[in-house]
Structure 1
Amino acid sequence: MNEFSEQLIAELAAITPFRLLKSGRTLPVLLPFYHLVSDRDLPYRNNYDYPSVAQFEADLDFLLQHFRPIGLEQLLKGDDLSGCFHLSFDDGLRECYELIAPLLKSKGIPATFFINPSFVDNKDLFHRYKASVITSIFQSRNIQLSLQRTYADLASLDEMAEEVGINWDEWLADNQPYMTMEQVKSLQNDGFTIGSHSMDHPEFELLDEESQLEEIRESMDWLNRKLQPTIKAFAFPFTDFGVSDAVFEACQRERLFDLSFGTAGIKKERFNCHYQRLPMEQNTALSTQRRLKQAFVAYRLKALLGKHYARRS
């Protein structure tokens, strides 16, 4: 929301009927996404909010009231997508299997789960989760600590964990934050689609082009070997910021995926079969309607200025 103040967007959203904001065949398809849904306070997720089960169910009911759920097959066909939505979930956390999928099944909502092969079966932990765990330990000792939390800081995070007595293998065995391979396959057997989210969730803007391509190639190869998905989907970790046209063109030449996704919100895209998703874990204190109204207002204001296309640099 760089061009417009949050206050202006909030005020316009408050007075504009939702049916007007969401109408029109030229609007980008609505692609809400989450990481986690839980009623528990999870120390490894203190870097951003996540909805409770009740909040998440309210989101689903509102979406079903105003939009039509679709699967990746319809998204790939690219026919008239006005009034549709497709849900997705990143990181492959175990709540996807234990809490989210049962709710989706009960309401007949298709979805895609984007997973990191390095974390399946709790073999390793996302670097920002590691930073959160370490920070929570220092906070429990009344020590204030500000950690760097990028992929480039992974080695130093592991060293600090050792200094404070954390053994990641033991921590993962005790906490098991991620889904197992058996659970991932169960989701696929239930009709959900599984996509790649890179091997181990680096910030792509920190990688050179060849390293970005290797992350995509390796993770998509793993996905194809283990799950043989009908539609090959890739969601850029964090977002697609820092990913050049050359990388997208290479992915298209090599047919690495059928669909790919960023997280820039409701925006149009220049590349065919690349879509931007809307983060739903921001401002969870607001109602579902208010969050979506503000997102649509922001899009329409930017469209007036011709700034409604996603930028990657």
Structure 2
Amino acid sequence: MQLKKKIFYTVSNACPINLLQKAPASRLLLPYHHLVSDREVPHIRHLYPYKGTKAFEADLDYLLKHFRPVSLPEVIHAVKENRPLSGNSFLLTFDDGLREVTEVIAPLLQRKGVPGVFFLNNAFLDNRSLFYKFKVSLAINALRSQPPGTAVSGELARALQALPGEDAEAALRRITWRNRELADSAGELLGLDFDAYLRNERPFMTLDEVGGLVKQGFSIGGHSIDHPYYRELSLEQQLEQTFGSVDFLVEQFGIDYRVFAFPHTDAGVSRAFFETALGGEKRLDLVFGTGNQQRDMLPGILHRFNCERPQIPIDESVKGILLLNGLKTFMGRDRIKRG
């Protein structure tokens, strides 16, 4: 599969950008990131790659050369008025509310004159709790630093109820929101102090920092309360996580818009969720999914794509997503179906 992806990106990169920009997906390009950093971040290290400042700045320059930056209010108004944005626009979004937003990302965006939207989990703001996935990354770090032959790995595998033939690291990677308490058990076995890590490293932004971003003209949105996999939740829990995160931001910061981006993925989320989220009493203005620029059942659902992989240059990433969606449109497969 990796070879196929490499070939696809290579082919797409040979296509002229002005030709690909005629595809429907180019009407609004929606790249997403989590962080930008030049240092190794232990709580992220074993979860996903990310770009450094030079690479991210080069990405911004490329996007500004070929696309027009738009703000969240512009997108909301265009959707509400059922009118397209001017061709070849882009809106940058960032998930999880990490401290690198205020230290690295926001200053770069301000210098370039680029708007941005930051999707936040209210359980993590002010570093009140540590995301279970971050605990997993720290546990993998600690596990790999154990001297050879120690009994910790076997103890950990048993504590995590490892599957036959599965080692402790693989069992750690299987932890989800539903059994997130296992990450705490792993931390205890490995001698990790997650509370001290929160105090010392401060992985997340503070409420004051978020308020500063809003005053600077940036936008914010809900990203669930504590970052679960939505496919593991009931409809009631999905709505509670969604409205709980958005309502908190509206009340805390006095914003006059209501937007939400799925944590992890929106795959498998039912039609009933979207009808309630976008049409109910507490309706949202927009919902952002992870379906790679595809169309969905309602105009208020917009799909983003991952643009933070350092191994894929920005031109390949953008051209690849535009070519992919152009092909899907041609085949009549560019709309996500909801059950």
TM-score w.r.t. the length of structure 1 is: 0.94
Larger radius of gyration: 2
Match of 2:183 in 1: 157
Match of 1:66 in 2: 66
Distance apart, 1:141 and its partner CA: 1.2
SS at match of 2:294: coil
Match of 2:322 in 1: 296
Code of the residue aligned with 2:66 in structure 1: it is H
- Where do 1:273-292 residues align within 5 Å? 273-282=300-309, 284-292=310-318
1:94 equivalent to 2:99? Answer yes
Code of the residue aligned with 1:301 in structure 2: it is L
Aligned with 1:133 (options 121, 124, 138): 138
Q: CA RMSD in A?
A: 1.9
Gaps of 5+ in 1: none
Aligned with 2:119 (options 114, 119, 129): 114
Aligned with 1:269 (options 296, 303, 307): 296
Aligned residues: 311
1:178 equivalent to 2:177? Answer no
Q: Contact between 1:202 and 1:237, CA under 8 Å: does it hold in 2?
A: yes
CA deviation vs aligned residue, 1:207-266 (integer Å, no higher than 9, x gap): 111110111121122111101212211001112112111111112212332111011212
Match of 1:239 in 2: 265
Match of 1:80 in 2: 84
Task: Give structure 1 regions of 4+ aligned residues with deviation exceeding 6 angstroms.
Answer: none
Structure-1 separation of matches of 2:138 and 2:128: 16
Q: Contact between 1:25 and 1:80, CA under 8 Å: does it hold in 2?
A: no
Percent identity of the aligned residues?
36
CA deviation vs aligned residue, 1:43-69 (integer Å, no higher than 9, x gap): 111211100100100110000000000
Distance apart, 1:274 and its partner CA: 1.1
Aligned with 2:169 (options 137, 145, 158): 145
TM-score w.r.t. the length of structure 2 is: 0.87
SS at match of 2:32: strand
Match of 2:334 in 1: 308
Aligned with 2:251 (options 225, 239, 250): 225
Q: 1:164 to 1:309 in 2, by over 3 A?
A: same
Code of the residue aligned with 1:67 in structure 2: it is F
Gaps of 5+ in 2: 148-152, 154-167
Distance apart, 1:288 and its partner CA: 1.0
Match of 2:20 in 1: 21
Q: Contact between 2:20 and 2:322, CA under 8 Å: does it hold in 1?
A: yes
